[in-house]
Structure 1
């Protein structure tokens, strides 16, 4: 036993070599006692009738089923406690309370499979701790909290599962002289027999996230966007089929979102946007309704809109899905927006996406009749640069940046939606994700997590997270019926120290989810 040498030295110093004699009071049955020490073996329970000045106690093969709170309150002077070859399997909170002078605690070769996180509370003088040769698969986080004098810990002989539960132990460094014994991993298989002190904390992925349902807004919508007004975040829901927008704000008293305002007004239909059309009315900031509602109308009509700013001038691209339509670039000039360039006619474009590649503005158009086409800004106008191979029937496009690279999410209604990465000359296929009635494949950066949500009209919508080590989107969770019906757009907003995800639904009410961070090492 690791503590045997220390125990013998301590007992010798305490006068064990002298003649054995009972302490003040009675020496319990099956115990051998001297003035300062006691050794008990085979007792059915914890003996208690020791001298209050007892310094050293060894309990061997007792019949105690568990160590309960206050088990040693009648021995306040103990400096050393040895518990070995006992049958108890649980140590409860405050089991050693009252032992403020205890320096050596050896709990070895027992049947312990569980130890409470506050089991060692109050041991402010403890320097040596051994939990060797038990059945511990993990230690509770903060087990050593408050043990500022602890310098030696022995954990050998336990079947530790080296998952996120051991992370806190690997990061625990209370003093410069701390020494952790040769504890080893019993699992998982890849880490079997690995010594604890050889594990790298950086390799453990112990942070998880979850989107949980928070609130339902009994209004359907085709678009949802956050905006700020008077320093407060707001959300606008575009409802082009009702000719209005709804603005939601946070109710601090109820801790929920509530409707603040309704803005009416029928935005123009994309069919009214040829070169000879009248100018689109501009809207003074911060009211976002015309922009959001226009985006919603375009989505309803199977078209798309992409905002753009060039040389301080606000512009946007309208992707026209009509058979004889022409995608148009419109820019603000005085009181309204006027056509600046007509491009990509007769291709039934369904979506437009403005993005920056190689330091220059680019425009990506998704089409019902051909592969997505990439334009770049050259000489004050958009010029065709290339198309995207292996991509047919793409309904919508959305891009995001991560690790200095540009990724593209391509939405396909039936088949496989795709993730692509820019290689400097074109977008290359990175992965394919099965789609079932998808109208939206939207990337969102929430806190530190790059997510992408693939909506579905027929099944559960899928939430993916980008894994930086792999550079791929990995499944995270599902958002499903009956609450989420025909999602068309997603947006997130931070409010009152919390993060929320809004899902605008075409055939059902808008759904709100809360973003939670989970610590798997706890």
Structure 2
């Protein structure tokens, strides 16, 4: 029943009992009262001197500017409350506090543009609610929480903006045993005039993420790797100018990252960790002076040099990767010297020794280990030719194919999504690329403009497949994979003065919080925190 019908009933009720009038002083000016009902029209403010046993109250064209908390504490017995053609625009929290017996609440044809989320709190007997024909563009989430007795809700005639703010309402409607009139959308333009109950909640994209700055770690870095040791997340940074591999851990008292240990590694380009039970190994690939393997035999000991790695083959390392072959851990070190060769080193007894030389004379800049068709593969990028894909066959890597239309690729990184394998290819000048494996080779899927990029790194953080395209000259771009389209979509920019010339990214989860590390060549390492944002709140 609309407000007009209720108003007629009320007017009829005023006449019941003939000339009866409540005790003197119980019916305010500008109001007409009967034994248990009152109709007030044109009152400059909210009348207060009603009988505490009043059951029905109608307020028409009053001068009330807002409904404040506890506005009706003097009439706790109300069963029906009606507002129509009033000028107030705001309903505050607990505006109807004390009305535990109220069954009918009609707030129609007013100018209400805002209603607080706890405005209806305490109306445990409410069965009929109407907010029809107001100026409401949205409703706060949980507005109807605790109103289990509702059987009729009328929201028609409001200029609802059908964006993420109405998502909760669309999800709430099917869960209640009440008839709900919602009306049509006033915006956005694509949804104008569409009925709310025709909208599909699944089509709303109301979850967003944001990376916010958290901490800075002094000294520039070329690489960053996350690993878990003794059940605790750790991060190791390759800091060439400081001449060390720096290991960080979480400080629970300070709620920040602190230095745990460092190992001496002048001109280091990559610090690659390997955890085998209680033992921790760190490969330090160095431009000059030879690459080394460090080891920590147990959690109470410190890292110490264990082995010099292939001094005659690794002349100018540029990257190092960890991979497992036939159940054994191996490292592959990409060598950028024309006289050297990329080398596969596998565990043999206490150390790691050369197993195979790969791609000699090609000045490799990057190595990427991945699995395709259930077999180990290795992808090498170099300064002299297109990236080459090798597969593990007969106890060694054999050339399988190269990647067409991929010249001048500095580095490659892969990720998996929806059963497919994708590849991010970094180009310093030109467009960086995203490719997808089709069963025989990688095919171009997407091109992204990049200037001065040394890293295009995919990262799976919580439920989000991200990819960050670094830049030496401008803002670095954060992308997110949209599953429906299978493409990377822009998400956020990270840039100066904090992020300068990024070279690598890594993320860890600590104490329920997710962090992104950005190793920068021309500035200190930056740490960002990953936040999930609910746009429907």
Superposition TM-score, scaled by structure 1 size: 0.90
TM-aligned CA distance change 1:422 to 1:289, over 3 Å: farther
TM-aligned CA distance change 1:501 to 1:518, over 3 Å: same
Confirm or deny: 8 A CA contact 1:396 1:411 kept in the other structure: yes
Moved more, 5-14 or 231-240: 5-14
Confirm or deny: 8 A CA contact 1:295 1:304 kept in the other structure: no
Task: Name the CA distance, whole Å, in 2 between partners of 1:477 and 1:377.
Answer: 38
Task: Name the CA distance, whole Å, in 2 between partners of 1:293 and 1:439.
Answer: 27
TM-aligned CA distance change 1:291 to 1:405, over 3 Å: farther
Q: Which residue of 2 aligns with 1:300?
A: 317
Confirm or deny: 8 A CA contact 1:23 1:33 kept in the other structure: no
TM-aligned CA distance change 1:469 to 1:412, over 3 Å: same
Structure 1 residue 293: Cα displacement? 15
Task: Name the CA distance, whole Å, in 2 between partners of 1:292 and 1:152.
Answer: 77
TM-aligned CA distance change 1:207 to 1:117, over 3 Å: same
Task: Name the CA distance, whole Å, in 1 between partners of 2:405 and 2:66.
Answer: 66
Structure 1 residue 392: Cα displacement? 0.7
Structure 1 residue 389: Cα displacement? 1.3
Moved more, 327-336 or 391-400: 327-336
TM-aligned CA distance change 1:367 to 1:15, over 3 Å: same
TM-aligned CA distance change 1:445 to 1:174, over 3 Å: same
Partner of 1:463, secondary structure, is strand
TM-aligned CA distance change 1:86 to 1:205, over 3 Å: same
Task: Name the CA distance, whole Å, in 1 between partners of 2:34 and 2:239.
Answer: 87
Deviation string, structure 1 residues 293-344 (Cα, Å, up to 9, x no partner): 9999999747877xx2112222222222222332222222223222222232
Confirm or deny: 8 A CA contact 1:81 1:106 kept in the other structure: yes
Confirm or deny: 8 A CA contact 1:185 1:194 kept in the other structure: yes
TM-aligned CA distance change 1:299 to 1:197, over 3 Å: farther
Partner of 2:168, secondary structure, is helix
TM-aligned CA distance change 1:195 to 1:173, over 3 Å: closer
Structure 1 residue 457: Cα displacement? 1.3
TM-aligned CA distance change 1:321 to 1:339, over 3 Å: same
Partner of 1:298, secondary structure, is coil
TM-aligned CA distance change 1:376 to 1:291, over 3 Å: farther
Task: Name the CA distance, whole Å, in 1 between partners of 2:308 and 2:109.
Answer: 71
Confirm or deny: 8 A CA contact 2:436 2:443 kept in the other structure: yes
Partner of 2:316, secondary structure, is helix
Of 415, 420, 429, which residue of structure 2 is paired with 1:405? Answer: 420
TM-aligned CA distance change 1:281 to 1:237, over 3 Å: closer
Structure 1 residue 10: Cα displacement? 7.2
Structure 1 residue 283: Cα displacement? 6.6
Of 283, 289, 298, which residue of structure 2 is paired with 1:285? Answer: 298
TM-aligned CA distance change 1:302 to 1:375, over 3 Å: closer
TM-aligned CA distance change 1:297 to 1:395, over 3 Å: farther
Cα RMSD over matched residues?
2.9
TM-aligned CA distance change 1:449 to 1:215, over 3 Å: same
Task: Name the CA distance, whole Å, in 1 between partners of 2:313 and 2:26.
Answer: 87
Task: Name the CA distance, whole Å, in 2 between partners of 1:283 and 1:368.
Answer: 36
Structure 1 residue 173: Cα displacement? 5.0
Confirm or deny: 8 A CA contact 1:396 1:440 kept in the other structure: yes
Unmatched 5+ residue regions in structure 1? 263-279
Unmatched 5+ residue regions in structure 2? 263-292
Structure 1 residue 11: Cα displacement? 7.2
TM-aligned CA distance change 1:284 to 1:40, over 3 Å: same
Confirm or deny: 8 A CA contact 1:23 1:35 kept in the other structure: no
Confirm or deny: 8 A CA contact 2:414 2:458 kept in the other structure: yes
TM-aligned CA distance change 1:292 to 1:201, over 3 Å: farther
Superposition TM-score, scaled by structure 2 size: 0.88
Structure 1 residue 385: Cα displacement? 1.6
Task: Name the CA distance, whole Å, in 2 between partners of 1:203 and 1:386.
Answer: 41
Structure 1 residue 417: Cα displacement? 0.7
Structure 1 residue 492: Cα displacement? 0.6
TM-aligned CA distance change 1:285 to 1:383, over 3 Å: farther
Confirm or deny: 8 A CA contact 1:25 1:51 kept in the other structure: no
Partner of 1:81, secondary structure, is strand
Deviation string, structure 1 residues 160-186 (Cα, Å, up to 9, x no partner): 001110011111159652111132211
Of 326, 329, 333, which residue of structure 2 is paired with 1:318? Answer: 333
Partner of 1:226, secondary structure, is strand
TM-aligned CA distance change 1:455 to 1:291, over 3 Å: farther
Partner of 1:521, secondary structure, is coil
Confirm or deny: 8 A CA contact 2:13 2:37 kept in the other structure: no
Partner of 2:307, secondary structure, is helix
Confirm or deny: 8 A CA contact 1:466 1:472 kept in the other structure: yes
Moved more, 416-425 or 227-236: 227-236
Confirm or deny: 8 A CA contact 2:219 2:242 kept in the other structure: no
Partner of 2:175, secondary structure, is coil
Structure 1 residue 236: Cα displacement? 1.4
Task: Name the CA distance, whole Å, in 1 between partners of 2:306 and 2:18.
Answer: 93
Moved more, 205-214 or 221-230: 221-230
Moved more, 288-297 or 226-235: 288-297
Structure 1 residue 128: Cα displacement? 0.8
Deviation string, structure 1 residues 186-212 (Cα, Å, up to 9, x no partner): 111121112121111111111110000
Partner of 1:165, secondary structure, is helix
Moved more, 45-54 or 329-338: 329-338
Confirm or deny: 8 A CA contact 1:298 1:304 kept in the other structure: no
